[in-house]
Structure 1
Amino acid sequence: MTDSAQPIKVDIWSDIACPWCYIGKRKFEAGSGLFAGAGEQRGVEIEYHSFELSPDTPVDFEGNEADFLATHKGIPAEQAQQLLDRVTGIAASVGLNYDYDHLKHTNTVLAHEAVHFAKSQGKQLEMTERLLSAYFLEGRYVGDVAELAALGAEIGLDSDALTTALETHEFLAAVREDQQTAVEYGINGVPFFVIDGKYGVSGAQEAQTFAQVLEQVWRERGSVPEAVDA
């Protein structure tokens, strides 16, 4: 396989509690699908990395999402609700039915540790999707060890091993390493996509934008000097 036919590596910094990260995930999946659909063995390899938008969030936050947003951003509750309504509409446009009435806001560091455990078992992508769905669509409590173990079991992970890893914080250092790398890259918001180690794309861009960047990287890999007529 030539270098140009190797899958394009995409590193994604994301937070389980970030609504734009789930939206961006769907848009990136659509964009990478457009890219891969062009043939010639085009492919993408994805790796997720931890980023905490609000690391000071308590595990047992009391109040709904509008309460948290109003406090966190220092805005009136009515304005916070308008922001949630807006993001709910955008999420619906990519097939995600956000349920803020039942969402349980919590600290996400344990969820990130669970994703790293899943990565060690070859199931990082599945766990990331499961946790985002559990948080935004199902009102599951992703700050709880037992709930995370149950969610892991749903995708085929050993719940006892996951429980032990979470209770001993076996993967906390890996979470912190991701966060430090984000600092070094200058990432201060998510989702953030690093494509082929050299192109940074910030935010939940449209599918076509992602497809264009991937195509640009692909063409650069396969480019050869053109012959110049004497």
Structure 2
Amino acid sequence: MIKPPTLHYIYDPLCGWCYGAAPLVKAAREVLSVQAHGGGMMAGDRRQPVTPQLRDYVMPHDRRIKNLTGQPFGDAYFEGLLRDTSAVFDSAPPTAAVLAAERLAGRGLDMLSRLQSAHYVEGRRVADREVLVDMAGTIGLDATAFELALDQAQREELHAHIAETRRLMERVGARGFPSFALERDGKFTLLDAGAFLGRPQELRDWLRTQLPDAMPAPGNAATEFGCGPDSCSI
């Protein structure tokens, strides 16, 4: 049996450009299976406390993302979370939450989308366990079952998942987050997602019409965007 094509989505939950690319993920899911791979951009020793310097650094990028994609950023994020010096940006807990939601109900990408909105619109601290449990409830997951799955993901899956994602990045030639690689018959094609940024319907239509031939996505309108493997620096 021939394995159906899969779009591999390499992301980090605290990557602003991944939030900007969220409409592309939604559009792609209308066409084919999308598999999420969290890369741990701000996990472990790359965790960052919120500081005025961090706020000054990320805000110009966030405003550019908003202008290019139309994705909303809330005052609770700009004037709340980014001024909360007790908060820490840590990719590990929300990535574990995505794994838990996937394990529990096949809802990993739905959880990621909810966490992105919680972070960038509502200014929630998505590294905090109680926020993760609350967000799981908003997408219809049972709180007790989710907490058990979250504990299991953090204990058994998270580190191996991040390491596997880094190996996938090397394999497909991904420079950072977000990256999209189309797999067909065991072969990977790295897509030029920047060509579709802000135009999710064009990605959906391209996938529908060109998927049988697994041709590279056109790059005539590519935009340089994304976060590097260890920081949002590009």
Q: TM-score, normalised by structure 2?
A: 0.69
1:1-230 matched pairs, under 5 angstroms: 8-30=5-27, 32=28, 43-55=31-43, 56-58=45-47, 61-63=49-51, 67-68=53-54, 77=56, 81-92=59-70, 96-99=71-74, 100-103=78-81, 106-121=89-104, 122-167=106-151, 169-170=154-155, 171-172=157-158, 173-196=160-183, 197-206=187-196, 207=200, 208=202, 211-212=205-206, 215-219=209-213
Q: CA–CA distance in 2 between the matches of 1:220 and 1:185?
A: 15
Q: CA–CA distance in 1 between the matches of 2:14 and 2:116?
A: 7
Q: CA–CA distance in 2 between the matches of 1:28 and 1:181?
A: 18
Amino acid in the other structure paired with 1:136 = Y
Structure 2, gaps ≥5 residues long:
83-87, 216-234
Structure 1, gaps ≥5 residues long:
37-42, 70-76, 222-230
Q: CA–CA distance in 1 between the matches of 2:8 and 2:32?
A: 10
Amino acid in the other structure paired with 2:170 = V
The alpha-carbon deviation at position 80 of structure 1 amounts to 5.5
Amino acid in the other structure paired with 1:24 = A
Amino acid in the other structure paired with 1:158 = D
The alpha-carbon deviation at position 220 of structure 1 amounts to 5.7
Cα distance, 1:214–1:19 mapped onto 2, change above 3 Å: farther
The percent identity for this pair of structures is 22
Aligned residues: 195
Q: Which has the higher contact order (CA 8 A, sep 6+)?
A: 1
Amino acid in the other structure paired with 1:97 = P
Cα distance, 1:201–1:158 mapped onto 2, change above 3 Å: same
- Root-mean-square deviation over aligned CA pairs: 3.0
**Contact 1:51–1:178 (8 Å) recurs in 2:** yes
**3-state SS of 1:101 partner:** helix
**Contact 2:13–2:91 (8 Å) recurs in 1:** yes
**Contact 1:130–1:151 (8 Å) recurs in 2:** yes
**Contact 2:172–2:189 (8 Å) recurs in 1:** no
The alpha-carbon deviation at position 166 of structure 1 amounts to 3.7
Which protein has the larger Cα radius of gyration, Structure 1 or Structure 2?
A: 1
Q: TM-score, normalised by structure 1?
A: 0.71
Q: CA–CA distance in 1 between the matches of 2:214 and 2:169?
A: 26
The alpha-carbon deviation at position 108 of structure 1 amounts to 0.9
